[in-house]
Amino acid sequence: MDLFEYQGKQYFARFGIPVSPGGVADTVDEAVAQAERVGYPAVVKAQVQVGGRGKAGGIKLASSAEEVRSHASAILGMDIKGHVVGRLWIEKASDIKREYYASFTLDRGARKHLGMVSARGGIDIEQVAAEDPKAIARVDIDPVDGLSDAQAKRLVDDAQLDAEARPGAVEILKQLYRCFVEGDADLVEINPLVLTPDGRVHALDAKVSLDNNAEFRHPEWAEYRATEVLDEREQLARSKGLQYIGLTGSVGIIANGAGLAMSTLDVVNQVGGSPANFLDIGGGADANVMANALEVINTDPNVRSIFINIFGGITRGDEVANGIVQALGRVNIDAPIVIRIDGTNAQQGREILKTHESDRLISKPTMLEAARTAVELANRAPARGRA
Ligand code: GDP
Ligand code: MN
């Protein structure tokens, strides 16, 4: 789950990372009130989850209430790379002497945490990596040992931050690493981390991506869930408690078990199709779960066929087949459905489906045949369009 800048800064502050005082505003009047509170000059910042807000005109300095008013009204409602601005963050403006970059993330390949620091902050780190990879200092951190003081010091030395910024930057790196580990994040990034003319170092931007698997130990994340940016399909899936990820293809996918769902995406790709989603219905494939899953997939106008791939284990094939039949009686599905049932009681399951088969409901004995049929149907079907 990705946080907005203002949420990321609040998260940083919990771990002692210095950020500028500020507040959120959803209207022009609220923006002015926040600026009056923090003082001038103030910065008016668009809260959208996309980089390059500055260049797009979504970040403006204001030295008076009138200027806050005019910037806030220009930025609220602005479209930045497809993200419409509905919320602003107003903070006390900082004087900037230098802009740096700092981050921690996972290096899955190395099975380590990766720390990165650069003296070339304020611009896209991908651009720095492409133009001048040596300008990014890196360190691999063993998650068991954590970040040592020596490693933090070496990072800022290797990155050649200005001498006066180094002690402050080392402190922030240690706090940022704690935020990454104890805060259960997949990514924490400060760009820019700034040095002020009076020699202080602090975070001017915040990018935080939280690890959803750790949600059970963070009841306070509920507030971030409430503002999460999801598309219509994902919202519906979330409200029904389904493990759903929207994709851009035309074959809707329902499978039991995350591994089987992943393999199903692969086999659909392999036979020349493109999956519209990832959806794992887990162990209990009863009529309720199946109806919910079909309903979510049915809201996606790109879906031209649906592939239900079930491997019976503890959940028996006949139960699943009954669930599918009942679910189809409850929801009206626009796209044709291809079903493959294997594993425990698969034969009984197929018998149950047999009496309901048509050109809209097709059963295939193997995953590959089912995938081929689903892809053929998707390619043959006209665009569904939505009223
Ligand atoms: P992003 O472009 O979307 O990543 O937004 P940032 O929050 O990183 O801000 C972009 C740029 O705006 C920064 O690199 C700064 O140059 C500038 N900026 C942001 N806040 C301030 C501030 O308080 N004072 C000054 N002078 N510039 C700022
Ligand atoms: Mn930034």
CA distances from 373 to 246, 259, 307, 335, 366 (A): 22, 21, 9, 13, 11
pLDDT at residue 313 tops 90: no
The 3-state DSSP composition of the chain as helix, strand, coil percent (nearest 5) reads 40, 25, 35
DSSP track, 43-80: EEEE--SSS-TTTTT-EEEESSHHHHHHHHHHHTT-EE
Take atom 2 of ligand 1 and give the residue whose Cα is closest. Answer: 52
Q: Is 99 in the pocket of ligand 1 (CB under 6 A)?
A: yes
Question: Rounded to 5 degrees, what angle do the CA atoms 357, 360, 366 make?
Answer: 65
Does the pTM surpass 0.85? The reply is no
Q: Which residues face 363 on adjacent strands? A: 339
pLDDT on residue 386? 46
Give the Å distances, CA to CA, from 51 to 10, 12, 129, 224: 19, 19, 16, 19
**Average of per-residue pLDDT across 236-244:** 87
Rounded to whole angstroms, the Cα distance separating 119 from 125 reads 11
- With 90 as the cut, is the pLDDT of residue 334 above it? no
Does position 100 have pLDDT exceeding 50, yes or no? yes
Give the residue with greater pLDDT, 384 vs 173.
173
Q: Which of helix, strand or coil describes residue 294?
A: helix
**How many other CB atoms are found less than 10 A from the CB of residue 329?**
11
User: How does strand 337-343 pair with strand 361-363?
Assistant: parallel
Name the pLDDT band for 383 (thresholds 50, 70, 90). low
Q: Which has more pLDDT, 97 or 108?
A: 97
- Please report the pLDDT score of residue 385 as a whole number: 52
Residues 201-208 have a mean pLDDT of 98
What value does the CA radius of gyration of the chain take, rounded to a whole number of Å?
Answer: 26
Residue 34: its H or E element: helix 28-38
Gap between the Cα atoms of 295 and 332, Å rounded: 8
Percent of the chain with pLDDT over 90: 80
Which pLDDT value is given to residue 291?
A: 87
The DSSP 8-state label assigned to residue 19 in this structure reads B
51 CA closest ligand 1 atom index = 3
pLDDT digit string, tens, across residues 150-181? 999 999 999 999 999 999 999 999 999 999 99
Compute the average pLDDT of residues 203-220. Answer: 96
Query: Which residues sit opposite 103 in a β-bridge?
Result: 116, 189
Grouping H, G, I as helix, E, B as strand and the rest as coil, residue 105 is strand
Give me the sign of the Cα torsion angle 218, 222, 224, 225: positive
pLDDT category of residue 319 using cuts at 50, 70 and 90: confident
Ligand 1 centre to CA of 183 (Å) is: 25
pLDDT given at position 387: 40
- Mean residue pLDDT across the chain: 94
- For residue 93 and ligand 1, the question of a CB distance below 6 A is answered with yes
Mutate to test the pocket of ligand 1, among 205, 207, 208 (most ligand atoms within 8 A of CB): 205
267-281: pLDDT as tens digits: 999 999 999 999 998
- In angstroms, what is the span from residue 55 Cα to ligand 2's centroid? 11
Active site residues: 101, 189
Q: Is the pLDDT of residue 384 over 70?
A: no
pLDDT at 316: 85
Q: What is the DSSP string of 320-367?
A: HHHHHHHHHHHS--SS-EEEEEEETTHHHHHHHHHTT-SSSEEE-SSH
pLDDT-derived band at 108, boundaries 50, 70, 90:
confident
Q: Which of 231, 226, 193, 224 is nearest to 210 (CA)?
A: 224
Query: Rounded mean pLDDT of 204-230?
Result: 93
Q: How far is the CA of 241 from the centre of ligand 2 (A)?
A: 34
Query: Is the model's pLDDT at 285 over the cut of 80?
Result: no
User: 125 C-alpha vs ligand 1 centroid, how far in Å?
Assistant: 14
Q: Write out pLDDT tens, residues 41-80.
A: 999 999 999 989 999 999 999 999 999 999 999 999 999 9
Helices (H), 141-278: 149-158, 166-182, 222-226, 232-239, 258-270
| Mean pLDDT in residue range 247-256 | 95
DSSP label of 275 = B
**Mean per-residue pLDDT, 104-123:** 95
Count Cβ atoms within 10 A of the Cβ of residue 231 and give its class: 0-12 exposed, 13-18 middle, 19 or more buried.
Answer: exposed
